[in-house]
Each structure stands twice: as structure tokens, then as C-alpha cells.
Amino acid sequence: MWAKSPARARPRTTPPHFSCSSFKDVHHLFSDDSNPTPLPPHSNSRKTPSIFHRVRVVNSLLRAWSTRLPHAPPQISAAPSPPPISLPGTENSVVVYFTSLRVVRSTFEDCRAVRSILRGFRVSIDERDVSMDSKYVTELQGILGYHNKAKMSLPRVFIGGRYFGGAEEIRQLHEAGELKKLVDGLPAADSSVCGACGGYRFILCDECSGSHKCYSEKGGFRTCTACSENGLIRCPSCSCAPL
């Protein structure tokens, strides 16, 4: 039989005590002591931490967890909506700013389409042709707040004194059936054609006979202030002329 070789017995060391059975023992993992005191090898006793040390560790954990939580984006308050645009004195009619010139075909087609839609309801329409009187351009710029003529597109429609937009907005309202509700209750249009202007809503100026110039012996020629640059005035006999 083989003899058992004598083996040198190694001293058995007890691993450091570790316990994390409750939240109170979490401080063993996060202790920041620079020189921790080792426990005796064969000792089963443990050092009870102070209450201040526990509070400090818990606060550190809460701060660490709070930094990992997603933060809600700041609430941005919505800007107040601008007040509606209105045209005083036109609460009982439809006002259309348009152009009869064919210089820009798309603009001319939009103006003609909008006028055709509105005329189909047979209500009183005040059609203001900016190509016949430049004062309408200045008037519309003041209402809409445009200072650059290039940015202002036509047509522009007001119903019952309220601004409703241009050609696209009127088409959408018409297709949805909302345009009929808006014009209901407005005065009906006169089906007869005006005998003074023939439906063009403008006549020659009586002061200058359409020349836009007036002559006097003392002052010579001067610009007529009663008419537009085209020598025209609104027809006073037309039923659609503004009061």
C-alpha cells in the first residue's frame, strides 16, 4: 500500500463577511472609506454603520438614479393666435379683390374661377378690380398688412366682413359645402344690368372726362383727384357699388 505522503495543512482563511440582505447593507458596496478596517479572520461579528453614513449612501444612490431617468421636455406655451382679419362696413356683402388683366395667366384664371363660384350663389358681390384702380391695392395692403406688392396674390375674398383667403380656400369651402352656409342670409344680387356702366362698375370721370388731368387758367394743368390713374370712378348707379 502506498503510504500517504504527509501534506502540509494550509491554514483556512475565512472570506470577508458580505451581506446585502436588505437596503440597509447597500452601503458596503458604495463605501468610500480610503482605509477600510479588515475584519478578523475567524470573527463572525460585523461593525454596525452609523445612521449618518446610511443617509449619505442613500442620498448618493438617489442622485445616481435620478440622473439616469429621462427628463420630460420643457413645455412650450403656444403663441396666441392672431385676431381675425375683417373689413368694416361690408357685413352684408361679399367683397372680392381681383384683377382683370391677363398678364399672369394663373392669377387671371384664379380670379375668374372665384368670381364664377361666388356669382353662382346670386348674392350681392362688391368686385374690386385692382387693375382699374390702384387705390384698391393700397387698401388691401393695409387690411392684410402686406408692404410688398410682390408677396400679395389675388384674388382675396371677404364674406360678411370676414377674410376667408384666396382661390384655394374658396374652392375648398365650396367643395365641402361650407361656402353656401356662409353666404346664406346675404342680400340677393340684382339680376338686371346697370344701364350706366353696363356691368363694368366703372365710368369715365366727370371732372376730367377720363384724362386724369384738369385745366384752369390760373394754375394750368393739374392731376384730377376725383378719379383713378385711368380716369375712372366707381359707377354711382350700380347696385353693387359701395355705399
Whether the predicted pLDDT of 146 surpasses 80: no
The whole model's pTM is what? 0.62
Task: Please report the pLDDT score of residue 75 as a whole number.
Answer: 66
Cα-flanking dihedrals φ and ψ of residue 157, to 5°? -120, 135
What's the whole-number mean pLDDT along residues 118-142? 91
What's the whole-number mean pLDDT along residues 147-160? 81
In a domain, 22, yes or no: no
Same domain, yes or no: 237 and 184: no
> How far apart are the C-alpha atoms of 127 and 135, rounded to whole Å?
14
Whether the predicted pLDDT of 240 surpasses 70: no
Whether the predicted pLDDT of 52 surpasses 50: yes
In a domain, 28, yes or no: no
CATH code for the domain in which residue 99 is found: 3.40.30.10
* Sequential DSSP letters for 127-158: EEETTT-THHHHHHHHHHT---GGG--S-EEE
pLDDT tier at 191 (50, 70, 90 boundaries)? confident
> How far apart are the C-alpha atoms of 195 and 242, rounded to whole Å?
17
Same domain, yes or no: 100 and 142: yes
In a domain, 32, yes or no: no
Same domain, yes or no: 132 and 220: no
Task: Please report the pLDDT score of residue 18 as a whole number.
Answer: 45
Q: Is 125 helix (H, G, I), strand (E, B) or coil?
A: strand
For the chain, what is the mean pLDDT? 77
What's the whole-number mean pLDDT along residues 82-108? 90
Comparing C-alpha atoms, which of 26, 29, 19 is closest to residue 54?
Answer: 26
Whether the predicted pLDDT of 72 surpasses 90: no
Task: Please report the pLDDT score of residue 242 as a whole number.
Answer: 41
Domain limits for position 213: 200-242
Task: Please report the pLDDT score of residue 20 as a whole number.
Answer: 45
Give the residue, 146 or 50, on which the prediction is more confident: 146
Whether the predicted pLDDT of 38 surpasses 70: no
Give the residue, 118 or 71, on which the prediction is more confident: 118
Same domain, yes or no: 206 and 185: no
In a domain, 109, yes or no: yes
Residues facing 43 on adjacent strands? none
Whether the predicted pLDDT of 184 surpasses 70: yes
In a domain, 8, yes or no: no
Same domain, yes or no: 92 and 155: yes
Q: What percent of the chain has pLDDT over 90?
A: 33
When divided into structural domains, the chain yields a total of 2
